[in-house]
């Protein structure tokens, strides 16, 4: 990915707080790329030891590596505490400037009477803001965004195109909602009466605290009563479903295709990897990590890594998987013993 201008290798190392193994004369870096694709004027990074073999044949001009990296590879080494973070700084240095949105209201936007807009707000084409809606200073409301009656968006938010924030929902400061995200749809609440499914009113709200980022086409249901609540600093991937009255703590990571059923409470610093399913009305404690494609069917309180369906401590899960993989050989041994026993009996 080429940038607008090159940078001397010494300057690049200083930018990321790195240590150069040595510095050949007149090496300049003009972009960033993967280990496999990087050329002589680009920098890459070693974020996972499994890519060392690729790095050994890489054509990159330089590479960010951990401080204790001691192998011989073609690129010039820049030792850093965290190669991924250093690479992110380099990406920021060479990437095109992000799109900016001028303050003001586009003439095609529909702004109801009584809407409150803070200083420097940008309202993009065909956005709809219903009565009582509020937008904090320097926030961007993207094209075709719907902001429902009494909904509140905090300061310095980026609400990308096609987002729906339904009535009375509350969005904190510096929140990013990506395209297609729906906040405040009705919870899936029904009671079966005489063979028919009776809709239960969903009259609560969704509250999203500051510094949360939510991916494209993720849906967060409003509470049946009270609030569905996403804690500060939590990051939620694309295509996640969060049901009514779920509470998610601070600084959690919720990865793509996760589904969390109603009234579940999740603590701080929890990670739910891709395609995790969580039943309703349970609690997941602080610091718990649930591995990909696992199913959580009961409360978990102790921090650590859990895997499988139902989710159990990772060491126990791996042991069970090892047993399963040995079943074929065990079956063969049992059959041989049975045949030997039958022959002896004859």
| 164-197: pLDDT as tens digits | 999 999 999 999 999 999 999 999 999 999 999 9
What share of the chain has pLDDT > 70, as a percent?
Answer: 98
> What's the distance, CA 66 to chain centroid?
24
The verdict on whether 325 is a catalytic residue reads no
DSSP for 192-213?
EETTEEEEPP---EEEE-TT-E
CATH 2.160.10.10 fits 104-317, yes or no: yes
Contacts of 82 (CB under 8 A, 6+ apart): none
Query: How do the domains of the chain map onto residue ranges?
Result: 2-94, 104-317
User: Has domain 2-94 been given CATH number 3.40.30.10?
Assistant: no
Q: Is 306 exposed, middle or buried (0-12, 13-18, 19+ CB in 10 A)?
A: buried
Q: Pull the structure tokens for residue 158.
A: 């980026």
Cα distance between residue 178 and residue 11, in whole Å: 34
pTM here is 0.87
Are 139 and 159 a contacting pair, CB within 8 Å?
A: yes
What is the enclosing helix (H) or strand (E) of 170? strand 170-171
The encoded tokens of residue 265 equal 């409470």
DSSP 229-297: EE-TT-EE-SS-EE-TT-EE-TT-EE-TT-EE-TT-EE-TT-EE-TT-EE-SS-EE-TTEEE-TT-EE-
**Cα separation, 91 vs 70, whole angstroms:** 25
Per-residue tens of pLDDT for the chain, all 346 residues: 443 478 999 999 999 999 997 877 778 999 999 999 999 999 999 988 999 999 999 999 999 999 999 999 999 999 999 999 999 999 999 988 888 899 999 999 999 999 999 999 999 999 999 999 999 999 999 999 999 999 999 999 999 999 999 999 999 999 999 999 999 999 999 999 999 999 999 999 999 999 999 999 999 999 999 999 999 999 999 999 999 999 999 999 999 999 999 999 999 999 999 999 999 999 999 999 999 999 999 999 999 999 999 999 999 999 998 888 888 888 888 888 888 877 777 6
List pLDDT tens digits, range 95-117.
Answer: 888 888 999 999 999 999 999 99
- Cα 258 from Cα 233, distance rounded (Å): 18
How far, rounded to the nearest angstrom, does the alpha carbon of residue 111 sit from its chain's CA centroid?
Answer: 32
Round to whole Å and give the CA distance between 43 and 80.
13
The DSSP secondary structure of 3-65, one letter per residue, reads EEEEEEHHHHHHHHT-EES---TT-EEEEE--TTT--TTEEEE--SGGGHHHHTT---SEEEE
Structural contact between residues 175 and 231, judged by C-beta atoms closer than 8 angstroms? no
Catalytic residue among 138, 144, 178, 244: 244
Q: Write phi, then psi, for 135 (nearest 5 degrees).
A: -130, 125
Query: For 91-158, what is the HEC assignment?
Result: HHHHCCCCCCCCCEECCCCEECCCCEECCCCEECCCCEECCCCEECCCCEECCCCEECCCCEECCCCE
Question: Which single residue is written with the structure tokens 């310095």?
Answer: 156
Q: How many alpha carbons fall within 13 Å on the CB side of residue 61?
A: 23
């Amino acid at each position: 990915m080429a940038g607008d201008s090159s940078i001397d290798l010494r300057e690049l190392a200083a930018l990321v707080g790195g240590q150069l193994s040595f510095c050949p004369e007149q090496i300049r870096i003009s972009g960033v790329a993967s280990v496999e694709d990087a050329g002589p004027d680009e920098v890459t990074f070693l974020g996972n030891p499994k890519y060392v073999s690729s790095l050994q044949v890489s054509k990159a001009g330089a590479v960010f590596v951990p401080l204790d990296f001691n192998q011989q590879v073609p690129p010039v080494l820049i030792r850093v505490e965290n190669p991924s973070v250093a690479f992110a700084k380099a990406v920021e240095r060479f990437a095109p400037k992000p799109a900016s949105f001028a303050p003001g209201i586009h003439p095609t936007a529909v702004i109801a009477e009584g809407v409150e807009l803070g200083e420097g707000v940008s309202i993009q084409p065909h956005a709809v803001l219903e009565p009582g809606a509020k937008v904090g200073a320097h926030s961007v409301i993207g094209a075709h965004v719907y902001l429902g009656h009494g909904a509140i968006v905090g300061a310095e938010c980026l609400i990308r195109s096609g987002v729906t924030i339904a009535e009375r929902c509350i969005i904190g400061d510096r929140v990013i909602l990506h395209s297609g995200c729906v906040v405040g749809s009705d919870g899936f609440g029904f009671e079966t009466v005489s063979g028919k499914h009776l809709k239960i009113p969903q009259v609560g709200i969704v509250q999203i605290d500051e510094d949360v980022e939510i991916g494209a086409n993720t849906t967060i249901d409003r509470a049946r009563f009270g609030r569905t609540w996403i804690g500060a600093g939590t990051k939620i991937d694309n295509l996640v479903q969060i049901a009514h009255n779920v509470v998610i703590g601070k600084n959690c990571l919720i990865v793509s295709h996760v589904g969390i059923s109603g009234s579940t409470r999740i603590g701080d610093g929890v990670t739910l990897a891709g395609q995790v399913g969580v039943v309703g009305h349970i609690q997941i404690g602080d610091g718990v990590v649930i591995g990909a494609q696992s199913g959580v069917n009961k409360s978990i309180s102790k921090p650590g890594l859990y895997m499988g369906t139902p989710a159990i401590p990772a060491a126990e899960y791996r042991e069970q998987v090892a047993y399963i993989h040995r079943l074929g050989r065990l079956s063969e041994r049992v059959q041989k013993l049975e045949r030997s026993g039958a022959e002896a009996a004859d």
